[in-house]
A and B are shown apart, each in its own frame.
Chain A
């Protein structure tokens, strides 16, 4: 940040953020030399001039640099960053969709692992919701943080929905009657019957 502001203040040759020329230029060397000879001629005045030249360190500028970073710009950046975080899950959705599609609907180790991953990730992100926004809260973003969290949460839910859809297409969801039939109780009998052939 600071380097960028410096560069904005004092344009330097490209590829360099900043530099200090420790080697005095020829002109300066000449002035120093002239001062030295002048010092030989009339010492006091020359020494004084030499002093001022040696007191200022290299790259030192007497000129005051103005603080150019405006407050509004900072807010904008913060907002951008927070939205980046909030929309993070949503941005990953296409990738997961491709993953899910690649895994296919058959049962194999890969597809099972991908399904597990599809469930694991959004659940993890939901649980790490507060920690994801912790840095933002430190920087004092109040106001719309709830909105951000909501977006983040909804984004994670889309992942969960994707995972459920995947399970559904793989036939893992107990959505049919047939999935519950094993738990059905036996029908109770409304009549009792006995008998057979008669002996006489």
Chain B
């Protein structure tokens, strides 16, 4: 990759249209409010222009904004942009030619933008009179020249979805009919002509394949799969067009792209279709009415990539290149040559859209398994025989390995290395990451190399909606702890076509092979929520529990609920209903002897929000472990932590009666429905990023009043005494004491997460991804809400740091150094076998993986530890002591003789 340019994450980074030139391209983004030019050679942004806009209340109606960008065909260096009520023109060398604001009228909506050699034409729909008002603006200075109007039968929404513009034509599909409306281009000719093309069934899509001043090609796709291609030719010296159908045989799933080249006589039309793992291409040349010189190519793909989503055909220096984006997010570049098609580039761009991550431990090595086996038994005799047999087998395998080494040498070294990469290391530092992307491709990634071990594509995949993000449940059905059984992972997703259908796919995380017994596409109920059982059922497998739309709970695979869930500890289920803006808590009572596989849920509590909208729910990590029950104060007394594992954090947003926007944070107990903490922040903007761990919560937001990012940290304590030291129940009458402090962050926040370690002894660090590409590791001590305003000796004894509102970030704490990663959406942390070490995996546009040591390396030797010196000095001491002993005895003997 030569260069890359990462755009803003806000609306200004959303690309509306790219206009390609020979040396550079002009990119219009931010709903037509930004124009910039990138040079192909070095990725340099040559110029950038922002639309001059006077209305400042633009952030209120961003949703309704509509933008049209066209390149003037008669003057290719000029680009006209219509952004709602702003019309402006830029030239390709970075000059803003003119910019006008079209007078706003509530009934008038600007829809179409057309251009001729003299005019820029805006078609606006007057919803009062159902007329399309066509206004002509001078191309040179934007002066309004004249306007006319014509009857219009579509409403605004239909016009946007079903119509396209091309030169001076507006094409609108109306069920089985395509209307072609010719807009007159000069003042003297005001005749609006409408012609129709009939299709066999309802028109689904109109696409403009090629557009020039004299010739255009469009594609009409009907919903019965029929595709037709029409060619438009301009009549001489008029503004009217002739059209004729091109007789091209197309499959229903094929894509069309057209390339022009100066060297070519006409246009080349490429038809591409995907068929399993094969891509088929047909290249033809368009003559006046017919197609000639048809040639077919086909290329075998390395994996199933689904359908084609985007196709671009271009001829660069006599090389025919096809660029495709497949359904699985793959970027393909295929070269068509005389000797056939060749795949020259394949990138898994799906990796930039990861939505769920889970980590699996690697499998035990054979020797480790034997050790497990050796100490597995009970009874003296069986253990003894096991020990003998395992040691004999170890000896045999040792000799076999020696033999193999002598006979084969290094021949199967690669294979062995590959096998070794899949075996758990001594400290369980290397793992396998299972990532699910929003396009339905699942990858298995080895952490030590970042190499993709396997990938699986599920074509009918659609993720669940999660507020304004997407979400796919990914579960450990069987963990890697059971060495006799391979681990299993499950994903649950919706069907792309019928969103109420749920699919379950269970696979082996080491190979990606589907486990067909636990894979289904037909659940007889509509799933409202899925979660994992607390207890393993058969062969150490956990089962999935589904709550359906009738508030019934089901198991998959079907087992009695009494086996999937603990019968001694009651289970509570909470669901957030978006339409009601309410959390509802359910109680699940299971009788031990009950063999029912599904049961009804009983509602026990309900928390509903009024005048505020829940924008996020945050739960703690399932791997969160609390090692110490309290904090030791300076006077050696204990402040007990309120570690309630049933707490979730809820973020709500709203506008109060003074029109001030606010954000509320709640800690909700999901067993009782009681609110344990509530904070209100006024003049604060989401997104709110939350870390909830142990007895504390840290969240960040943007403060609009001071224009800075802030973090709030709160801790919950039981107090000086513990209510019950052995058990915790949400029903215990504990009123937690809350301490809070707010801090100013030096950077913005894209995602935050807390480090995880195996036992939770190691202190916590907060990992923060910033918009400028850094991943910062900040010790939680800096966020400690108990940081005092004036430091007493007792606080110093406790190790507290004096409170300063700013959190200072050392550049040493940037864990990715200069390997900046952008648009990070999430961070995943996992514990390793070493208590000091936590694994950090950040994903977003880029992926980053590292290990962090929040309390330094206290359980392993440093990298620069000199084994040689220690080894040799030990040897020297042993030898020296023997020598000294001998000398001492000689000396003693001599002394005795004196």
Contact = CB atoms under 8 A, between A and B. Distances in A.
Interface in B417-469: 464-467
B632 A181 contact: yes
B630 to A, nearest CB: 5
Contacts of A200: 500, 526-528, 549
A57 interface: no
Nearest to A175: B636
B629 interface: yes
Interface in A73-121: none
Nearest to A190: B729
B573 A195 contact: yes
Interface in A141-200: 171, 176-179, 181-182, 184-200
A171 to B, nearest CB: 7
Nearest to A185: B726
B570 A192 contact: yes
A197 B578 contact: yes
Interface residues of A, number: 24
Interface in B632-674: 632-633, 636-638, 643, 645-646, 670-671
A177 B528 contact: no
Given A190-B569, A193-B670, A199 B465 contact: yes
Contacts of A198: 528-529, 547, 575-578
Interface in A37-55: none
A187 B466 CA distance: 33
Interface in B84-115: none
A195 B531 contact: yes
Given A187-B728, A188-B727, A195 B574 contact: yes
A191 to B, nearest CB: 5
Given A177-B638, A187-B643, A199-B528, A193 B534 contact: no
Contacts of B637: 176-178
What are the 9 tightest A-B residue pairs by CB atom distance, in nearest-first order? A190-B729, A195-B574, A178-B632, A187-B728, A197-B576, A194-B531, A198-B528, A176-B636, A193-B670
Contacts of A184: 628-629, 725
Contacts of B57: none
A72 to B, nearest CB: 51
A199 B632 contact: no
B728 A189 contact: yes
15 contacts: A178-B630, A178-B638, A179-B636, A181-B638, A188-B727, A192-B570, A192-B571, A193-B573, A193-B645, A194-B574, A195-B529, A195-B575, A195-B576, A196-B575, A200-B526
Given A171-B636, A178-B637, A181-B629, A193 B571 contact: yes
Nearest to A180: B638
- The main secondary structure of chain A at its interface with chain B is mixed
Given A184-B629, A189-B569, A196 B617 contact: yes
A189 B645 contact: yes
Given A186-B629, A187-B727, A189-B728, 16 more contacts: A171-B636, A176-B638, A178-B636, A179-B636, A181-B628, A184-B629, A187-B728, A189-B645, A190-B570, A191-B646, A192-B569, A193-B671, A195-B529, A195-B572, A195-B573, A196-B576
Q: Which interface class (under 10, 10 to 19, 20 to 34, 35 or more) fits B?
A: 35 or more
B138 interface: no
A177 B670 CA distance: 31
A186 B760 CA distance: 11
Contacts of A199: 464-465, 494, 527-529
B575 A193 contact: no
Contacts of B566: 192
A177 B576 CA distance: 41
A194 B571 contact: yes
Interface of B: 464-467, 494, 500, 526-529, 531-532, 534, 545, 547, 549, 565-566, 569-578, 617, 619, 626-630, 632-633, 636-638, 643, 645-646, 670-671, 724-731
A191 B726 contact: no
Contacts of A188: 726-728
Contacts of B526: 200
A192 B729 contact: no
Contacts of B529: 195-199
A41 to B, nearest CB: 67
A162 to B, nearest CB: 22
A88 B649 CA distance: 69
B575 to A, nearest CB: 5
Most chain B beta-carbon contacts within 10 A, residue among A177, A188, A200 = A200
Interface of A: 171, 176-179, 181-182, 184-200
A187 B526 CA distance: 37
A195 B577 CA distance: 11
A187 B670 contact: no
Nearest to B727: A188
A199 B577 CA distance: 9
Contacts of A191: 569-572, 646, 671, 729-730
Most chain B beta-carbon contacts within 10 A, residue among A176, A178, A186, A191 = A191
Contacts of A176: 636-638
Nearest to A184: B629
B630 A181 contact: yes
A193 B726 contact: no
A199 B575 CA distance: 9
Given A184-B629, A191-B569, A197 B728 contact: no
Contacts of B731: 190
B690 to A, nearest CB: 14
A105 B727 CA distance: 39
A178 B576 CA distance: 40
B338 to A, nearest CB: 52
A105 to B, nearest CB: 13
Contacts of A185: 726
A114 B562 CA distance: 63
B668 to A, nearest CB: 11
Contacts of B466: 197
Contacts of A179: 636
B728 A190 contact: yes
Contacts of B726: 185, 187-188
A149 B404 CA distance: 76
A140 B638 CA distance: 59
A17 B637 CA distance: 71
A198 to B, nearest CB: 4
B285 to A, nearest CB: 50
B626 A186 contact: yes
A195 B628 CA distance: 27
A197 B629 CA distance: 31
Nearest to A186: B626
Contact of A193 (B545, B572, B643): B572
Contacts of A192: 534, 565-566, 569-572
Contacts of B627: 182
A128 B725 CA distance: 45
A192 B465 CA distance: 25
Contacts of A181: 628-630, 632, 638
A132 B467 CA distance: 84
A121 B528 CA distance: 74
Contacts of A196: 529, 531, 574-576, 617, 619
Contacts of B571: 191-194
B592 to A, nearest CB: 16
Most chain A beta-carbon contacts within 10 A, residue among B467, B534, B643, B671 = B671
A191 B619 CA distance: 16
Contacts of B531: 194-196
Contacts of B578: 197-198
Contacts of B500: 200
Nearest to A187: B728
